[in-house]
Amino acid sequence: MADELKERLAMVSREFNDILCIGPIGSLADIIIAERQANVTVAKLSNANSCADELVIEEDRLPFAQQSFDLILSAGTLDSVNDLPGALIQLRHALRPDGLLLASLFGAGSLRALKTAMMQADGQIVRAHVHPQIDLRSAADLMSRAGFALPVADQDRLGVRYTNWRRLVKDIRETGAGNALAGTRGYLGRDYLDRLDAAWAGLADKDGKVTENFAFLQLSGWAPSADQPKPAKRGSGAVSLAAVLNRK
């Protein structure tokens, strides 16, 4: 996610002086400081593995004054906040006019194999093992509703091959993307784990591996400004599309 944000930021030809980085993107913050000579604030949603110079925040309760930053980068955090619409509105408020938000998060369609195996292991009593994830269209709609100008939402998909689900869960936890639901069960029990092993094996290909899918949503939007380009009014076009396409 941090690499994707870095690539997208490189395509923006303007200077940013005050930048907020949210999520496990400390290495990206170091690069920004070195390349752009900007004032960078690094924040996380959990105090786990946090450094002394990192803030621990709630993304839907930002502790910053309005118009504090001209760039906000968020990686792997927006999918697990309690109030995503409210979080996006607060992020926009934290931006100065013509400030930019770039966000990357897990989207709907991620972890299909693991969800399927867990549902089979649950049997007749299905439990929520993974917090809900938003789809691409809903994310784009929320960006517009939050008041961002020129909002853009797109999606990347990645398939990763796993021999067993334990390695997959380990990778998920190491990225800080584990289940964010409150009140879920802790230890699942040996019988459940045995059923999960069997369900996972049933999904495997001939080589014994299962392809797990990850969907990454990429969001961008600008805080409104009078200097930004605006779409022409509906019906104001002077040239017919049919004429351009040489059609009658």
Per-residue pLDDT tens for 123-169?
876 676 777 788 999 999 999 999 999 999 999 999 999 999 999 98
Q: What is the percent of the chain where pLDDT is above 70?
A: 80
pLDDT of residue 52: 41
Phi, psi dihedrals of residue 137, rounded to the nearest 5°: -65, -45
**SS3 state of residue 211:** strand
The lowest-confidence range among 3-7, 93-97, 98-102, 113-117 is 3-7
**SS3 state of residue 43:** strand
Highest mean pLDDT among 38-47, 99-108, 220-229: 99-108
* CA distance linking residue 83 with residue 59, whole number of Å: 9
**SS3 state of residue 174:** helix
The rounded mean pLDDT for the chain is 82
Higher pLDDT, 80 or 17: 17
Higher pLDDT, 198 or 7: 198
Count the neighbouring beta carbons within 10 Å of the beta carbon of residue 227.
6
Question: What's the rounded mean pLDDT across residues 211-237?
Answer: 84
> In the chain, helix, strand, coil percent, each to 5?
35, 25, 40
Locate tokens 């960078």: which residue? Answer: 40
pLDDT of residue 70: 94
pLDDT of residue 50: 45
Phi, psi dihedrals of residue 111, rounded to the nearest 5°: 60, 40
The lowest-confidence range among 107-116, 183-192, 225-234 is 183-192
- Counting every residue written for the chain, the total comes to 248
Q: Does residue 184 surpass a pLDDT of 60? A: no
* CA distance linking residue 224 with residue 6, whole number of Å: 23
Contact 79, 45 (CB under 8 A): no
The lowest-confidence range among 12-26, 129-143, 202-216, 233-247 is 233-247
Question: What's the rounded mean pLDDT across residues 11-35?
Answer: 78
Phi, psi dihedrals of residue 231, rounded to the nearest 5°: -65, 150
Contact 194, 123 (CB under 8 A): no
pLDDT of residue 196: 93
CA angle 72, 73, 77 (to 5 degrees): 115
Q: Does residue 181 surpass a pLDDT of 50? A: no
Return left, alpha or beta for 134; rule: phi > 0 is left, psi -120 to 50 is alpha, else beta.
beta
Pairing status of strand 55-56 against strand 39-44: parallel
pLDDT of residue 246: 72
Could you give all domains of the chain from N- to C-terminal order, each with its CATH number?
A: 2-225 (3.40.50.150)
Per-residue pLDDT reduced to its tens digit, 47-102: 444 444 556 777 667 888 899 999 999 988 888 788 899 999 999 999 999 999 99
Query: pTM of the full predicted structure?
Result: 0.78
Higher pLDDT, 185 or 164: 164
Alpha helix stretches (DSSP H) within 95-240: 112-122, 136-145, 165-174, 190-203
Pairing status of strand 95-106 against strand 69-75: parallel
